[in-house]
Amino acid sequence: MPRELRDVVFVDGVRTPFGKAGGMYTETRADDLVIKCIRELLRRNASLPADRVDDVAIAATTQTGDQGLTIGRTAALLAGLPRTVPGFAIDRMCAGAMTAVTTTASGIAFGAYDVAIAGGVEHMGHHPMGEGVDPNPRILSEKLVDPSALVMGQTAENLHDRFPNVTRERADAYAAASQRKLAKAYADNVIQPDLVPVATRSAEEGWGLATFDEPPRPDTTVEALAGLRTPFRPHGRVTAGNSAGLNDGATACLLAAEDVAKELGLAPKMRLVAYSFVGVEPEVMGVGPIPATEKVLGKAGLTMDDIGAIEINEAFAVQVLAFCDHFGLRDDDPRINPYGGAIALGHPLASSGVRLMLQLAREFEDRPEVRYGLTTLCVGIGMGGSVIWENPHWEGAK
């Protein structure tokens, strides 16, 4: 029987302040971070009856300990949603939250759901990248991938090899600019409205309250970055300054069918247009946003000229710059990460996809002349993901 697909909207989203691994969330549970986000979404959208939430999808890359036990379900219960609301866990590494969004959005479009919550959490202080992983030895012995594919910093060095025009000097300049843009966004109160305050505990220092991101270094200069060592290769180009750090944090967003959002009095911030995920060579996973974006532009019948705002995850500066070169964009194109990115904010793996969406939604509100925007990121083990969104505030629709 033929079905009509429904339009899906991004109603609202929030995140915790991001912390440094081993920093302010050292004695805070990962699941408590995402629970705070779910509760805040319900508080901010009081016209939504809790029993209208049809599912909760939460991503985590390391699904064990305080990130295990089907975290979407346990977080939903602990956040106070009715026991009738189900939940599940997702893992697509850095694209976990993005996949949580696209998976539940697909269910809404199909008619299986009316409303869903999607997000992600990563506590890299509790669960270092690769913890407990046991790669099948045939992956390496049968040369399915190069050993460097399992170390993200080495894949970034490989990307520099592939694109020699992306020099360390360009990467450092881009990184310093990311810090400056984030500092300005904080000064302009762009970031703060979407942050959920989190109570923190320290056995030595007592209780505290996290209200700001911990990783940013607003005084970063290109000169200081030039002096940093290259841990993944002697005389390399990837440093702690031109890549994202190891971080703790959570994100969550509220998605709904557009007609249901209207029924419930929920004002959409974005409308989903199209999405795509692709595989690439694991040894150069940072190229992932390029074919993922080419694919999603084709699905949407658009070109890069139609995209007025781009939120790309800054896992490494080289991957952003390779994306820019491919699409003929300047390193300082004003469409790209105008409020700063992961080099300044941090990258708590599975949570980052929704963080990109939060910032794009803020750009849509601030820039009604922009109709379409893009969120995109590279993904470990050789993948990329891209989502195109439409601005409901677009002045051309009036």
Question: What are the catalytic residues?
Answer: 94, 347, 378
**Locate tokens 């779910």: which residue?**
38
Asked whether 258 and 271 are in contact (CB, 8 A), the reply is: yes
Distances (CA, A) of 224 to 114, 169, 215, 237, 346: 50, 12, 16, 14, 19
Q: Rounded to 5 degrees, what are φ and ψ at 166? A: -85, 90
CA–CA separation, 76 and 63 (whole Å): 16
What sign for the dihedral angle of Cα 55, 386, 211, 10?
negative
In the three-class reduction of DSSP (H, G, I as helix; E, B as strand; rest coil), residue 62 is classed as coil
Q: Which amino acid is at 325?
A: D
- Tokens in use for 56? 């909760």
CA–CA separation, 200 and 208 (whole Å): 5
Q: State the alpha helices, DSSP H only, in the chain.
A: 30-44, 71-78, 96-110, 138-141, 152-162, 168-187, 222-226, 258-264, 289-300, 317-327, 342-345, 352-366
- Tokens in use for 320? 């952003």
Asked whether 256 and 105 are in contact (CB, 8 A), the reply is: no
Q: Which amino acid is at 62?
A: T
Cα within 13 Å of Cα(6), Cβ side: 21
Q: What DSSP state is assigned to residue 390?
A: E
CA–CA separation, 9 and 266 (whole Å): 10
How many degrees, rounded to 5, is the angle at CA 380 between CA 350 and CA 71? 25
